[in-house]
Structure 1
């Protein structure tokens, strides 16, 4: 009898997982679609969507509805992570871009001064355009762990200390966002909290997609430094 019940429970769980996957295939396309305008030329969109589906399947297998978190919130980071992993495998940073990023990281870690692209350009010898192009590439291919918090991600660890640490990180991040200039704060909110695409944000702010992408990179650079300084 117990064996039969276990078989039934396993089948029910598998049915729930399959239902979640089938019901959220369009959500994978939404996540990939949000990245499309930032992708390098020649990227295979079908491969990215296939990777996103694998992330969706993983999310469905580990989802626990009793935690009170929406499935899309839980699944977003796994889908996006799988897509970015596939993108990194096929479109790594060029050697030149990697060298620029290494220099930018060096000066922002060793210097407590301003982290605006203009200030970084002055300290690295790069042009402002070169700094911003590098930031645009890196924000997509090498996102920071705190960006998961912006997407509403949750820890799967129930340890109380970890939960407290996460609450502290969330508060630091919220305070950091409030300290940004108004336009940067708005683009962060629209992109992460409202889940708008760059084109949609551009319509709101009367900017080109490229301009929005650069503004987002500037805002994330500021957040990176503020969060790092607060948590160090």
Structure 2
């Protein structure tokens, strides 16, 4: 049985014997070969993440931290469970890159505050009206005109590019993506929590505009870059960035409502 990883268009075959040599025999040479075989995952993740980051963030820095995530994934992955290593490693790699960015405080406090205000506006207004709210309604709530609101979206774009990996609760380390991982022995409380979170997320997605849903789908499911999405939708990259920011902030507002309801029960 072999697995393949695409590297510059050429498939690399990863044999199960490598995993056995590393996991069962502790063969360091097998571990090194696994790392080298999956390095393309790191380069791919760095390329996608770099699209929404300031130019001051070097892709090489992302790759350095991403390699640490890859090594961590290889050390913790249970190949006998039949799961796709590529999917598991991709989240570990991306998570390591984001942790590195956070440690360097790459998003200015002023930008974080603006993102928080917009997120709060979506949370309050959509809870009040029980529907998707317009840019005009958000602008009025924030006390700015629509032009200023669009500028705010542009400024906070770099903070929303990683928001889906942030903790569900401020005092927890488990991210929203952690609920997508296939883990053993889920307890009933966990299953109920995940069920309601998925239901809440589905409702929040329903409130996205058509263009916002398309952007989210193309970016997170089809894995297109923002510039590629701009070409597909025949819009400017800055407009795609704004749509992405609005979609993520709207989703975060919905999940925050879910969190507050859960904590109040």
Instruction: Indicate the TM-score class for this superposition, using the shorter chain for normalisation.
Output: 0.7 to 0.9
- Count the aligned residue pairs: 225
- Any stretches of 5+ residues in structure 1 without a counterpart? 1-6
Q: Judging by fraction of residues, say which structure has more strand.
A: 2
Q: TM-score, normalised by structure 1?
A: 0.79
What are the within-5 Å matches in structure 2 for residues 33-72 of structure 1?
A: 33-72=47-86
In the alignment, structure 1 residue 85 sits paired with structure 2 residue 106: no
8 Å CA contact 2:150, 2:242 repeated in 1: no
Change (3 A) 1:108 1:178: closer
1:182 to 188, 199, 210: 210
Partner of 1:4: none
For 1:181 and 1:142, how far apart are their aligned partners in 2? Answer: 19
Partner of 2:257: 229
Q: TM-score, normalised by structure 2?
A: 0.70
2:153 to 110, 125, 132: 132
For 1:88 and 1:215, how far apart are their aligned partners in 2? Answer: 24
Higher relative contact order (CA 8 A, sep 6+): 1
8 Å CA contact 1:52, 1:79 repeated in 2: yes
2:186 to 159, 174, 183: 159
Partner of 1:173: 201
In the alignment, structure 1 residue 196 sits paired with structure 2 residue 214: no
Cα offset, 1:70, TM superposition: 1.3
In the alignment, structure 1 residue 122 sits paired with structure 2 residue 140: yes
Residue aligned with 1:69, SS: coil
Q: Judging by fraction of residues, say which structure has more helix.
A: 1
RMSD: 3.2
In the alignment, structure 1 residue 94 sits paired with structure 2 residue 131: no
